[in-house]
Structure 1
Amino acid sequence: MKFTKWFTSAALGATCVAAFAQSAPVKTWKIGAAVYGQRNEYAQLWVNAIKDHPAVKSGLVSLTVFDGRYDHMTQDGQFDTMITQKYDGALYIPIDSIAGGNVVRKATAAGLPVVGSNGPVKSDQLVSYIGSNDVLGGQLEATAVVKRLGGKGNVVILEGPVGQMGATQRGQGIDMVLKQNPGIKVLERKTANWSRAEALTLMQNWITAHPGQINGVIAENDEMALGAIAALKAAGIDPKTVPIAGIDGVTDAIKAIARGEMVLTERQDAKAQAQGALDILLRHEIGPSYKPQSAIWQQYASSMPWGDGAAKLYAVPWTEVTQANAAQFVAER
């Protein structure tokens, strides 16, 4: 009888423990996404993609997106908030790649792991970085303009923000192509800070300063390319006569390519860069048992393998958009 009572009690206790284990809540990971600014379409695509990540939709991740408003100090303060409120991890697209290194150092010292995405950060303390090869992007867009010009002519270059490594690296790629094509002369080059409005103003000034002399435009992103197109149209110049190339693959740029007003854009996959970054961060937090949840790892399995999810660099391939395939991408938007 005593044995029966002991066995019954033990079994009941085991059942209660099992039931408790089954009902124990799964940890929710508190993750912040610090984005340099959300006024341009690419950043909006990135934000929408991260919100659509399966781990966010299932509740495994509690996500907060921070708008950096194109200001380093704003982003720095947002990291202070994440540290104070004890976030589990952060995704980071910096407006200033150099100063961003100090942000990563501060976060790491406070126990806040950081994964970089889209825009490089000068830091060896990042958990990992996922983005496209910006040097190659600059090479590809410059090559498209130079080829359309037959290797001869005058170009202007619209650059990204000073201090952002993505812009610097795209500029390096552009310069590599120009060095190989001495028949191309650079009339002007200046930052328009990824902004369509700033590019419009710059281009208007350059058209006035160099009447009839600008043969091509190399813009380090699509927003600036679109600003240049608007300036040409305002000046009565058909943009189809002035080869223009950009980077990102935003909707208006793809439509401009379809109309023949741009020769090319190199499309960055915002979904791959955003959702890939979150998977990498979750792998760091949860450990080797974590399996990536985004479909992008199947999409790029051959060119960007997941491996064990612990690589320091993941390079998302560029997709070239020209008039030949622009309609396909317009239909997807």
Structure 2
Amino acid sequence: MKKLIASLMLSSLMVAGATTMANAAPVRIAFLMYGNKAEFVQLMERYAKEHPAVKQGLAEVTLFDGRYDAAVQNDQGQMAVNSKYDAIIINPMDFEANIDVVTVANEAGIPIVVTNARLNTQDMLSEVVSDDVEGGYLEAKAVLEKLGCKGNVVIIEGPKGGSGEIERGRGNERAISECPEGAVKVLERKTANWSRAEALDLMQNWLTAHPKEIDGVIGQNDEMALGAIEAIKSAGYDVKDFAIAGIDGVTDALRAVKAGEMTSILQDARGQAQGSIDVAMKAVVGDDYKPMSDIWEQYKGKMEWNDGKTKRYDVPWTIVTPENVDALLKDRGY
């Protein structure tokens, strides 16, 4: 009988908490994206809108396009503070410059969560990211394994000063260092700013400068790896003669994996976006809030909710393979 009474009391408290949330004004969240041209960011935006709290009207998420400019993001952070948003989530452009958004949010007493890319501070409420050093290691390892840990590679980097370029670069170097000394030569490394078009131009120049010398391409995101593939094809080479890898798991990269043209390390846009919203909601609503996204069940044992109090959540990577690529494409509606 005591257990029954306790169970009924717990159920009553849960119902009361849910009713309180439903009756309250929606939690207003400003979601600051570094730029919305790339498919990965568009996927994050899609999954943010699909968060159960948003769909049920418990949260309102306003998405901001930072236009790949740290100064623009800082201005948007100040605007979010002035507009009295309940919480701020930032996908930062610059590792150092965008610390300003954390500073102004903290001064205003607004919870701030950092997602996808990182900032050189620990003053945010929490980070919901993926370990970019590991991601850079996994993609470079895929290239080097195909090459047998020998040959010439080029590295197409992300925007200089961003955490993705810094940390994925460290992972790239770690993988190269595991090969015999001098067996792998980095012929070129330069930024293409996450852009497929810029990477295409860059790769065309490198193919001209190093005719028949390049064996592998390490693209620090999929868009740039795909630009390199276009350049290789347009130059009349067989893309399957190269070892190529990227990061993100964008749709065209999934198709290229299926075609045997590259390796992609999938970064979970859904996990990052929805995880960030759950953490922000917990900070605003308080103890009545329980995580509403099913990502916590998906990654149980690898990434625990911990009552929304973990300083850094690392959303796991998935290596895209011929065995899992069809399921991933199906999830995108293809």
Same fold (TM over 0.5): yes
Shift of 1:56: 0.8
Alignment of structure 1 residues 113-192 onto 2, 5 Å: 113-181=111-179, 182=181, 183-192=183-192
2:196 maps to which residue?
Answer: 196
Q: Supply the RMSD in Å over aligned alpha carbons.
A: 1.5
Alignment of structure 1 residues 167-316 onto 2, 5 Å: 167-181=165-179, 182=181, 183-262=183-262, 264-316=263-315
4+ residue segments displaced more than 4 Å: none
1:5-59 Cα distance to aligned partner (Å, 9 max, x none): xxxxxxxxxxxxxxxx99x941221110000011111000000000111111111
1:289-329 Cα distance to aligned partner (Å, 9 max, x none): 21000011111111101121111011111011023332232
Shift of 1:261: 0.9
Specify which of 59, 74, 85 is matched with residue 87 of structure 1: 85
Q: What secondary structure does 2:265 align onto? A: strand
Q: What secondary structure does 1:308 align onto? A: helix
1:158-199 Cα distance to aligned partner (Å, 9 max, x none): 001111112210100110111121311000001111110110
Stretch deviating more after TM superposition (57-66 or 318-327): 318-327
Specify which of 48, 55, 79 is matched with residue 46 of structure 2: 48
Mapped to 2, the partners of 1:116 and 1:328 lie a distance apart of 29
Shift of 1:331: 2.5
Mapped to 2, the partners of 1:242 and 1:41 lie a distance apart of 25
Shift of 1:111: 2.1
Q: What secondary structure does 2:307 align onto? A: coil
Mapped to 2, the partners of 1:146 and 1:25 lie a distance apart of 56
Mapped to 1, the partners of 2:221 and 2:260 lie a distance apart of 18
1:122-161 Cα distance to aligned partner (Å, 9 max, x none): 1211100011111011111111111100111000000011
Mapped to 2, the partners of 1:85 and 1:143 lie a distance apart of 46
TM-score, scaled to structure 1: 0.91
Amino acid at match of 1:258: K
Amino acid at match of 2:120: K
Mapped to 2, the partners of 1:103 and 1:307 lie a distance apart of 26
1:241-278 Cα distance to aligned partner (Å, 9 max, x none): 1010000000000100111111x111011111000000
Amino acid at match of 1:89: A
Which of the two has higher C-alpha Rg?
1
Runs of 5+ in structure 1 lacking a partner?
A: 1-20
The count of corresponding residues between Structure 1 and Structure 2 is: 312
Kindly, what percent of the aligned residue pairs are identical? 50
Q: Is the 8 A contact 2:81 2:104 kept in 1?
A: no
Mapped to 1, the partners of 2:83 and 2:175 lie a distance apart of 47
1:34 maps to which residue?
Answer: 32
1:85-118 Cα distance to aligned partner (Å, 9 max, x none): 1111111001112111122112211222210111
Alignment of structure 1 residues 65-80 onto 2, 5 Å: 65-80=63-78
1:320 maps to which residue?
Answer: 319
Q: Is the 8 A contact 2:282 2:308 kept in 1?
A: yes
Amino acid at match of 1:266: I
Amino acid at match of 2:316: P
Mapped to 1, the partners of 2:178 and 2:298 lie a distance apart of 35
Amino acid at match of 1:285: V
1:18 maps to which residue?
Answer: none
